[in-house]
Amino acid sequence: MKKNKFVNLIFAIMLFFSTFIWNCSDSFGQSEELKISDAPIIYDANGRSIKVERPFKRIISLYGAHTENLFYLELDNEIIGVTRNESYPEAARKKTVFSAQEDPEKFLGSGADLVLVRPMIERGYPNLIKRLEQSKITVISLQPGTVDEMYDYWLTLGILTGRESQAEKMVADFKERVEFYKSNIDKQIAQNKITPKRVYFEAIHSKMKTFTPGSMALFALEAAGGVNVAVDAVASRGTNIGNYGKEKILSHAEEIDVFLAQNGVMNQTSIDIIKNEPGFGVIKAVKENEIYIIDEIIVSRPCFRLLQGIEQIGNILYKK
């Protein structure tokens, strides 16, 4: 009798644990299913929709802004490749170099799970993109054109990499610092009874192009207390660059207190080139030698260093 009771007890215990394990495994399955179904979906510049079920851990960046922002989110270990022109931060120089012009096999052999590009790369190298996607490597194309889009872009990078809280803080810190700088500039202008400087901001000298309202460059200018004279510039091909033309620039000749030009890959200009441009001698800023060059990376790239652009422009305009 005692033996039967003991056997029954053992059986009951085994039944209890088998039921417990079954229920637990079932609930774990449901939990995982919920987790996957609740995974955020992001949309890129090419219209892709990507469900981010887990953070990407091996990332190749084919655009300097992506690289800079990923480093800002403390993803040094996750970045396995960058472009050959990387210069910031210094740690980017130590990463393996990749190029869209190379054989796709280098990408495939890297173990990458995400390749970040921008629309220009996607348009220029469709075969590479197709080959990567065929090999189940996620490709995402991102490039914000406005400051509001920049904030969303930073948050998207946070979602892709599991750094949501850091990305949210990045946005909040940036906004706070911009407001602090703007309030100081406004106070300086008011206390010293300064007339806000009117500025023509050159984007591409050879084509007489400027920036359009909503662009990061004009955001930086306005945050620094400057007034854009080319408010009627119209976007060219959906970009934040607008055709303006010499005639329209010269129509503002007496208004332009400061002639500001970005310099870099997009606009390889100089003070002498601007000063010696036929017809520009009648521009107030040219006559008074108020021509300034600023690095395009800190006024046009959607990165935290846009704050440096704001500060430099403020120093130019109000001679701190």
pLDDT tens string 172-201: 999 999 999 999 999 999 999 999 999 999
Which pair of structure tokens corresponds to residue 260?
Answer: 């500001």
Entry pTM: 0.85
More confident residue, 1 or 310: 310
- The Cα 9–Cα 26 span in angstroms is 26
Hey, what CATH topology would domain 41-167 get?
Answer: Rossmann fold (3.40.50)
213-225: average pLDDT: 95
Report which residue type is found at 284. Answer: K
* Per-residue pLDDT tens over the stretch 60-84: 999 999 999 999 999 999 999 999 9
Domain boundaries, the chain: 41-167, 195-318
Identical fold at 41-167 and 195-318? yes
Token pair of 308 as six digits: 């440096």
The CATH code that applies to domain 195-318 is: 3.40.50.1980
Q: pLDDT tens digit string along 267-299? A: 999 999 999 999 999 999 999 999 999 999 999
> Which two structure tokens, joined as six digits, stand for 244?
């303006």
**E strand or H helix at 319, and its extent?**
none
CA atoms lying within 13 Å on the CB side of residue 45: 20
Tens of pLDDT, residues 148-157: 999 999 999 9
Confidence of residue 20 (pLDDT cuts 50, 70, 90): very low
- 276's tokens: 């010696």
Supply the angle between the helices 164-191 and 216-223 in degrees, to the nearest 10.
40
Q: How wide is the angle at C-alpha 250 spanned by C-alphas 249 and 252, nearest 5°?
A: 75
**In whole angstroms, what is the distance from residue 117 CA to residue 248 CA?**
36
